[in-house]
Amino acid sequence: MGKIAIVTDSTADLPSHLYREYGITMVPLLVHFGDEVYQDGVDLSSEEFYAKLTSSKVLPRTSQPSPHDFQVVYEDLLSRSDGVVSIHLSSNMSGTYQSAVVAAGMLKGAPVRVIDGRLASAATGLLVLEAARMARAGAGIDDIVARVEHLVGGTRVFFTVDTLEYLEKNGRIGRATAFLGTLLSIRPLLWIDDGEVAPYQKVRGSRQKILARLVAVGKEHAPAGRKLRAAVIHAVSPDEAAFLKDILEREFMCEEILVATIGAVIGSHTGPGTIAIAYHPID
């Protein structure tokens, strides 16, 4: 007792050891390949998912947890903690946040606070880790919520995809529709702005050129003179992730760089070849 429990969903894409280390509860979304249904991050690894994605004749679809799923989790955690902070994928991309809100309302005034992370993948994961560290240090529920909500506005995420096909067909393309129909030699640089996928710029040239521009844009938006917590987020591309991590270590003021693999739900919407950087200032 005397501790705030932290909850997120599987789209936070945190490495499994961090859930265990910080006692974070993860509620999985579902991935459907035809009649086959998998729990994201539970019974379908990222490697298995991308192999299936490239070989399957049908595109996967995803579904959110139900309010009942969240209610069961919240009731269990409230029986052994003083409150719950629940941080989720942007409400512009999924109904997961709304399911959590409904569940919290069903508990009739229980100390459950649900936060719309307005981000995706390990960009959300960075918020979750901050909340978990504060909870471990004994922070109260109001202080944790205030800190996370502050970081939502200060977190930046920039990414590129090999194709816009997955974002378009799954209805998550947001304002990046502006990039549809571009030439094959043009690579899209995207970001998450106000909770949805948005176009940033088109880059002509090789994969290496778009990765270099990804870092340059990230650096342009990084707050001067402030230390960062950052993440490199990749779709089973460890060599590219290591390349970006090395650059971030040399050119950014990072206290910590998390390397995270994009899971099945986010990967269903972004496709193979996706890679991103995300960060927020520490203070």
Among 126, 153, 180, the domain boundary falls at: 153
Same domain, residue pair 215 and 93: no
pLDDT value, residue 262: 96
**38 occurs within a structural domain:** no
**51 occurs within a structural domain:** no
**40 occurs within a structural domain:** no
**184 occurs within a structural domain:** yes
Same domain, residue pair 11 and 146: yes
Judge contact between 262 and 234, C-beta under 8 A.
Answer: yes
**9 occurs within a structural domain:** yes
Same domain, residue pair 84 and 139: yes
Same domain, residue pair 225 and 251: yes
**50 occurs within a structural domain:** no
pLDDT (mean) for 244-263: 96
How much of the chain, in percent, has pLDDT values that exceed 90? 78
The CATH number linked to 169 is: 3.30.1180.10
Same domain, residue pair 188 and 272: yes
Residue 67 has pLDDT above 60, yes or no: yes
Condensed to tens digits (0 to 9), the pLDDT of residues 219-237 reads 999 999 999 999 999 998 9
Same domain, residue pair 197 and 134: no
pLDDT value, residue 116: 98
Condensed to tens digits (0 to 9), the pLDDT of residues 2-17 reads 599 999 999 999 999 9
Same domain, residue pair 111 and 169: no
Q: Is the pTM of this model over 0.85?
A: yes
Q: How confident is the model at residue 188 (pLDDT cuts 50, 70, 90)?
A: confident
**270 occurs within a structural domain:** yes
Same domain, residue pair 194 and 277: yes
Kindly tell me the burial class for residue 1, based on how many C-beta atoms sit within 10 Å of its own C-beta (0-12, 13-18, 19 or more): exposed
Residue 59 has pLDDT above 90, yes or no: no
pLDDT (mean) for 233-246: 95
The CATH number linked to 74 is: 3.40.50.10170
pLDDT (mean) for 51-77: 94
**Boundaries of domain holding 224:** 156-281
Condensed to tens digits (0 to 9), the pLDDT of residues 122-132 reads 999 999 999 99
Same domain, residue pair 206 and 144: no
Condensed to tens digits (0 to 9), the pLDDT of residues 75-90 reads 999 999 999 999 999 9
Among 153, 172, 204, the domain boundary falls at: 153
Residue 163 has pLDDT above 80, yes or no: no
Least confident of 114-118, 161-165, 204-208, 220-224: 161-165
Same domain, residue pair 147 and 162: no
Q: Mutual orientation of helices 207-221 and 238-251 as an angle, nearest 10°?
A: 40
Among 125, 153, 181, the domain boundary falls at: 153
Judge contact between 31 and 60, C-beta under 8 A.
Answer: yes
Same domain, residue pair 139 and 168: no
> What average pLDDT does the chain have?
92
